[in-house]
Amino acid sequence: MANSKIVIVEGPQGVGKTTITDYLRHSMKYTNLYRLSGTSDSTKAGLEKSKTMYYNLLNYMKTLENLNINLLFDRTFFTEEIYCRLGFKDYSFTEVYNELVESLSKLDFEIYYITLYLEDEDLFEERLNRSGKAVTDYAKFEKESSVNQQNMYLQMADELAEKYPNIHVHKIETGKELEQTKQELKEILGF
């Protein structure tokens, strides 16, 4: 059984990934934090870039299996698949995504996939309006986008839980007090 963990935190913009991953980075011993945003190239050439990047990432993770360190990710190839499912890219990533998840599931780590979400979807407007000014049409548009992403992430979490019993899949609501969320994470990850 693996001594180290891979923790992948996913969710839409405005749900609190940065806050949560910063907390985990400083709370879990021997943890490296990686923040990945994918490529902004939505063309078919972008697919090749993404494939290369994520296959190399999994190869890198495999080289760290026996080092007794935890790997913490703020987004990975799951986001690429979500963006493709939502039509933000001009290509399908599903075949590559399925291969990547299969390879991930075979790594010698305890693997945790955590989807963050907001029950109160109106909180997205507040969180996405980071300048502190009145809510703009842009923030309202971003709220709709985040809600659509959230629905897809929650669906993906269900798919993963059903297909990969060795991946610990958790959905964590982040609209509550931060201390409650931190306690929930401590219980899930055992630190």
The CATH number linked to 36 is 3.40.50.300
Domain limits at 162? 5-189
Alpha helices in 28-136 (DSSP H): 44-63, 77-85, 94-105, 123-128
- Check if the beta carbon of residue 8 is closer than 8 Å to that of residue 73: yes
110-117 β-sheet, strand order:
31-35, 70-74, 5-10, 110-117, 167-173
The pLDDT of residue 106: 97
Residues 6+ apart with CB under 8 A from 58: 100, 103, 104, 107
CA–CA distance, 182 with 114 (Å, rounded to integer): 13
Number of domains in the chain: 1
For 121, phi then psi, to 5°, come to -65, -20
- This prediction has a pTM of 0.92
Both ends of the chain: CA-CA distance in Å? 17
pLDDT truncated to tens, each residue of the chain (191 aa)?
Answer: 467 999 999 999 899 999 999 999 999 999 999 998 777 888 888 899 999 999 999 999 999 998 999 999 999 999 999 999 999 999 999 999 999 999 999 999 999 999 999 999 989 888 887 655 544 444 445 888 899 999 999 999 999 999 999 999 999 999 999 999 999 999 999 99
Task: Please give the structure tokens belonging to residue 61.
Answer: 């993770």
CA–CA distance, 129 with 97 (Å, rounded to integer): 32
Task: Please give the structure tokens belonging to residue 45.
Answer: 């050439």
The pLDDT of residue 134: 47
The pLDDT of residue 132: 53
